[in-house]
Chain A
Amino acid sequence: AQRVTQPEKLLSVFKGAPVELKCNYSYSGSPELFWYVQYSRQRLQLLLRHISRESIKGFTADLNKGETSFHLKKPFAQEEDSAMYYCAKGPVGPGANSKLTFGKGITLSVRP
């Protein structure tokens, strides 16, 4: 079964501290990986996807196939980064089914 593991439920840091939100996935070829974010009282929205290799709001995530990880990082956390973050994995290969698997999520709290 496809799995996405976010080992921590909560990460609390001070403003300006580095942040790393961990995500590991079960190996299955070349996965499609995403990070979604849910700010308080807002709907879930895409933060970034590995295929774009982009940096959004200072966050980056690198796919490490050897470690099957897709950790989300930011060098200096801001209070407005406080939110729930979900790692998600899409299907692999053209014949794969269309299930999207989410991790259990992690709450990031950035204190002033």
Chain B
Amino acid sequence: EAQVTQNPRYLITVTGKKLTVTCSQNMNHEYMSWYRQDPGLGLRQIYYSMNVEVTDKGDVPEGYKVSRKEKRNFPLILESPSPNQTSLYFCASSPQRGLRDTQYFGPGTRLTVL
């Protein structure tokens, strides 16, 4: 089944403890992206990647890192999480030039930073 998967789905952690949220897609999509969803703020783009080894900042990149070593994977790294990063995170992928095509979203990862 063509899909975007994220792990873990739920995570509770403490301030300062490094964590990684994985994202994987099996559709050979070039474009991948991370968003966070917060009440009243909607969806905001964190980072995106046009292809392997090509990443760029979205609207809210502070406190996050990403990497794109393989086409299918696009992990989101929080080196030193803080409570203001408590949020619902979505990964998405899209065929080519991402934004002129449908984005396929993962199921979301609910992160709580204490």
Which residues of A come within 8 Å of B, CB atoms? 6, 9, 32, 36, 43-46, 49, 51, 86, 88, 90-91, 97-105
B44 touches A43 (CB 8 A): no
Asked whether, in the complex, the Cβ of B90 is within 8 Å of the Cβ of A86, the reply is no
B21 part of interface (Cβ distance < 8 Å): no
Q: Report how far A33 CA is from B112 CA in the complex, Å.
A: 32
Not counting A49-B102, A100-B48, A103-B42, a sample of 10 additional A-B residue pairs whose C-beta atoms are within 8 angstroms of each other reads A32-B99, A86-B42, A91-B99, A97-B56, A98-B31, A98-B97, A102-B42, A104-B40, A104-B42, A105-B43
In the complex, A46 Cα to B4 Cα: how many Å?
14
In angstroms, Cα B97 to Cα A7, docked, is 29
* B95 proximal to A (CB < 8 A): no
Task: Say whether B41 faces chain A, with CB atoms less than 8 Å apart.
Answer: yes
Shortest C-beta distance, A39 to chain B (Å), equals: 12
A interface SS class: loop
Which of chain B's residues 41-68 have a Cβ closer than 8 Å to chain A? 41-45, 48, 50, 56, 58-59
Which residues in B have some Cβ–Cβ distance to A below 8 Å?
31, 33, 35, 40-45, 48, 50, 56, 58-59, 90, 92, 97-100, 102-103, 105-108
Contact A44 B42 (CB under 8 A): no
Residues of B within 8 A of A98 (CB): 31, 48, 50, 56, 97-99
Q: Tell me, rounded to whole Å, the shortest Cβ–Cβ distance linking A91 to chain B.
A: 5
Asked whether B105 lies within 8 Å of A99 as measured between CB atoms, the reply is no
A100 touches B98 (CB 8 A): yes
Which chain A residues lie closer than 8 Å to B90 at the CB level?
43-44
In the complex, what residues of A have CB within 8 A of residue B58's CB? 99
Cβ contacts A to B, 12 pairs, < 8 Å: A32-B99, A32-B100, A43-B106, A43-B107, A44-B92, A49-B102, A98-B50, A98-B97, A99-B58, A102-B43, A104-B41, A105-B42
Which chain B residues border A101 with CB–CB below 8 Å? 45, 59
